Structure 1
C-alpha cells in the first residue's frame, strides 16, 4: 500500500509576519506516530509543509492509495484543498486532528473517513477495515491508552530541517480543563490525560541520538508519580531538555528539583494573565492565588529558564494590560515570552458562550491564529487589542528590556545566558533565515545545547 501523510502549513507560517525558525524548531509527531501502525511493506512518505515545499503534481502522479492529512484550524483551508485534489485523482483521504474533532461535518465534506479524538484506538481499526475493503466514514475515539504504542517512525522525519529534531511526547492531554483550551474538546468522550508506561517512555528516549530533547507534552509534570519515575530514570543519561508545565506543578515541593536533576533547562509556563480576575472566568483554577514572582524565582533557583505564555483580550483586560504584562515579565527576569490574542476556538466552552452572546465576528479560520481579533472584546477596541499585542512583542524583545531582564539575575553568567538566549532567539532573524534556507539549521543545535547545559548556578552537572 502506498501512503502519503501531510501536515499542511499554518497560515501564520506562510504570511509576511512569519518567523521561519519558529516553524523549523521541532518536528510534530502526530503523523509519524500513526505511521508506526503501518505494515513493514507499506510505502510511506511524510511531508511537513512548514519546512518543505510540496510538489503537488508529483505527489498526485505517485497515485497513493491512502492520503492522511492533519489539519489545524489555520491550516484547514489548505488541508481541504489538498484533500480535494487527491480525492479527484481517486485516492482515499483520511482527515483527523483538533480541527476535524471540533468541526466534523465541515471536515467530512472533504474526506472519505474522518477521525474524532486521539487515534491510538481507532487508527488500527481503520487500517484493518481499509485493507479489508470496508472502511467507515467516521471513527470516534473512546478508549484512551498508550499501552502497546508502536515506535514512532522517526525514519520518515527529515531531521536536518529542524533545529531540535529530538521531539518526544510521553503523555496525552492535560489534567486541567481551561475554558479556552482547544485541546480540551479533543479528548471528550474518554480520558483527557494519560501517560505512557515509564519504561516505554525511557526506551523511546534511549532511541534518540545526541543530548537535547524537546518534550511536546501539554503538561509533562501533570502526573506527579509518572513524572518522578520518569525523571529518576533519566538521571545519568546526560540529557538536556525543555518542556511545559503549570505554575501549580512548579510550586509542588521537590518535583522541579527532580526534573532539574534529570536535565530540565527550560520550562514553558502558562501564566496567561497578570489580571487575577481573568483566571476564574476561564477556569484557569490552577493559577488562581499563585504568586507569579515566587514561581519564576523557584524556576530560576533550580537553574531553569522560563518561557512565559500570556493571553491578551480577556474580559478584565484594559489597554494598560500590555505594558503591565511586559513590565512584570521583564522585571522578573523571564527569558522568553509568547503572547497571544484570545482566540475562541470552535468546540470550546468559550466559543459556545461567545457565540450565544453574539460576540463571534466571523468564522474565517485562517484568522484564528492568536494574532487577529475574531470576537468583540469587552475592555478595549479590536484595534487596541491587535496593536497592543504587537507592541508587547516589540517592547519585551527590545534590547533595553533584554538587558533589564538579564540584570534581574544575580550572577554574571546568569545575566550572560539571559542575553544570549533572549537575544539569540529574537534578534538574529537574518542568521536563522540563512541557516534554514541553506538547510543548516541543525548546525545551531550544539550552541543551544551548550547554552542550556551551562545555565544556572544550581544546574546539576
Structure 2
C-alpha cells in the first residue's frame, strides 16, 4: 500500500510562494511517522517539485493553509477522478470540513496524530468515515518523532524543524492557533526533545522550533535551554516581546544557541493591541525590549498586523521608522486576514465587512474586508510601500549591517525577502 502526502503549491505571485528558501511540512512528517510500517510513504511538495497526478497511490493525504485550499481541491478532484481516495487536514479543512468534503473523501479535524492510525485502519477495511476528530488533545509525550527521511532530495533550506509544545495561553483575535490547538499549553518531555536534537545534530547545527510560543511555560523553557547549552545548536523559534522582561530566561536562551525569534509586535497603537487581545504587549516598551533581545545575541523577525480598526494611513511610516531605530533584523507586515475559525472573522462577518472569500487571496498580502480607518486601496498601497521600503538597501543597511551573531541568518533572510517581494510585484503587476 502506498500513501502519497501532498503539500500544495502557493498561488502564483504570492510572497510565500516566491521565497527562495523553502521549509518542509513538519505535520506531514508527523503523519508519516504515525502511518503503519507496512505502508510505503512518499511526499510531494509542489513548492519544490512538480506533482505527478497520474502517479500511483492507494491513498492521498493533503494538508493546506487557507490560500492553498483551492489548489488542494484541484489536486483532490484529479486523484478522485481516478478512483483514488483523498484525505485532507490542516487549519483550513479543520475549520471548514463541509467545504472540504465537496472535494475529498475524509477530513481530519484538528490534530491528526491521534486519529491517523484509526483512519488508515478504516481505509484498509473499506470503512473510511467522512470526518475524524480526536476525542482529546494529544499528550505531548506521545508525539511521534517526525519521519524526516521523506524530505530527502527535496532541496529544503533546513529540515531540522521540531515541535516541543502546542497550544497558546493567549487568544488573539486574528490568530487561528487557539482554535486548532486549544488554549491549554502542552509540553513534550524535555528528555524526548534532547534525544531528537542529538539525532538532528548529526545532520545540521541549525534548528527551528515551530512552537507558537516556546517560552509560555517559564520552568519548561528554562529546563530545555539549560539542557541545550553546549550542544552547539544555532536555533530559532517564536516568543512574545515580553520575553525580554525575564533576564534569566533570556540569558539561558542565548547561551543555548538561540540566534533569532519571531516576535509579534502587531501594532504601535496600544488601543489596537488591547482590541486584538495582545495583552502582553506594551508599545511604549518596544524599543527597550528589542535592545534586550539584541544584547543577548537574539535577532528579531518582527510581525506587524496592518488594517486593525484603529489604523489609518498614518501608521505605515512610523512602523518603518520604529523598525529602523530598533534595528529589527527582519519583519513581515501581514494585512489583517479574517481566516475561518478566528474571532476576527466572526466579528467582521457580523458587521458585514468581509468583501471576498477567494481563499487564494487570504495570503496576508491582500485586503479581503472593509477597513474602518482607511480605504481598502490605501491599506493595500501602505502594505506594499512598507514591504518595499523595509527591504530597500538603505533600510537593510541601517538595520542589519552591524556586528551581531544573528546576521548569519538575517542577512540572507533580508535578501531573500527583497527578491521575493520584487518577483511578487512583477507577477502581480
TM-score, with structure 2 as normaliser? 0.92
Q: 1:255 to 1:413 in 2, by over 3 A?
A: same
Structure 1 residues 226 and 331, CA gap change in structure 2 (3 angstroms) = same
Separation in 1, partners of 2:241, 2:113:
30
Secondary structure of 1:287 counterpart: coil
Match of 2:125 in 1: 132
Q: Deviations over 1:349-395 (max 9, x none)?
A: 11011011010002111111111100000111111111111111111
Q: Describe the shift of the 1:381–1:413 C-alpha distance in structure 2 as closer, same or farther (beyond 3 A).
A: same
SS in 2 for 1:161: coil
- Of 317, 321, 327, the residue aligned with 1:333 is 327
Which residue of 12, 15, 18 corresponds with 2:13? Answer: 15
The 5 A counterparts of 1:417-456 are 423-427=411-415
Residues 159 and 165 in structure 1, CA contact (< 8 A), matched pair in contact too: no
User: Cα gap change, 1:147/1:428 in structure 2, threshold over 3 Å: closer, same or farther?
Assistant: closer
Note the 1:109-120 alignment, pairs <5 A: 109-120=102-113
Q: Report deviation, 1:97.
A: 0.8
Query: What displacement does 1:261 show?
Result: 0.9
- The alignment status of 1:356 with 2:344, answered yes or no, reads no
TM-aligned CA deviation for residue 269 of structure 1: 0.5
Structure 1 residue 280 corresponds to structure 2 residue 274:
yes
Paired residue for 2:198? 206
Deviations along 1:277-299, one digit per CA (max 9) or x if unpaired, are 11111111121466111210110
* Equivalent runs, 1:295-314 vs 2, <5 Å: 295-314=289-308
Deviation track 1:125-184 (CA, whole Å, cap 9, x = no partner) reads 222222333222111123222222232111111355112221112222322110110222
Q: CA RMSD in A?
A: 2.2
Tell me whether 1:344 sits opposite 2:338 in the alignment.
Answer: yes
1:312, 1:340 within 8 Å by CA — same for their partners in 2? yes
Give the Cα separation in 2 of the matches to 1:162 and 1:261: 27
1:266 to 246, 257, 260: 260
Which piece of structure 1 moves more, 361-370 or 284-293? Answer: 284-293
CA distance in 1, matches of 2:155, 2:194: 25
Q: Does the CA-based 8 Å contact 2:229-2:257 persist in structure 1?
A: yes
Q: Residue 4 of structure 1: SS of its match in structure 2?
A: strand
Equivalent runs, 1:208-287 vs 2, <5 Å: 208=200, 209-287=203-281
Unaligned runs of 5+ in 2: 422-429
* Inter-CA distance 431–180: structure 2 relative to 1 (3 Å threshold): closer
Shift of 1:202: 1.1
- Conserved in 1, the CA contact under 8 Å of 2:19 and 2:419? no
Task: Tell me, in whole angstroms, the C-alpha distance in 2 between the residues paired with 1:428 and 1:271.
Answer: 22
Please name the residue that 1:436 is paired with. none
- Aligned runs of 1:161-176 on 2, under 5 Å? 161-176=155-170
Give 1:203 deviation, angstroms.
Answer: 1.2
Residue from 168, 171, 176 that aligns with 1:177: 171
Change (3 A) 1:236 1:18: closer
Q: Deviations over 1:306-344 (max 9, x none)?
A: 111111111111111110001001111111111111111
Give secondary structure in 2 for the equivalent of 1:266.
Answer: strand
Q: Deviations over 1:201-225 (max 9, x none)?
A: 1111111122111111111112212
| 1:76 and 2:69 correspond | yes
| CA-to-aligned-CA distance 1:44-68 (integer Å, 9 cap, x gap) | 11111111111222x2xx1x22110
Which of 47, 64, 68 aligns to 2:44? It is: 47
The alignment partner of 2:334 has SS state of strand
Contact kept? 2:335, 2:366, Cα under 8 Å: yes
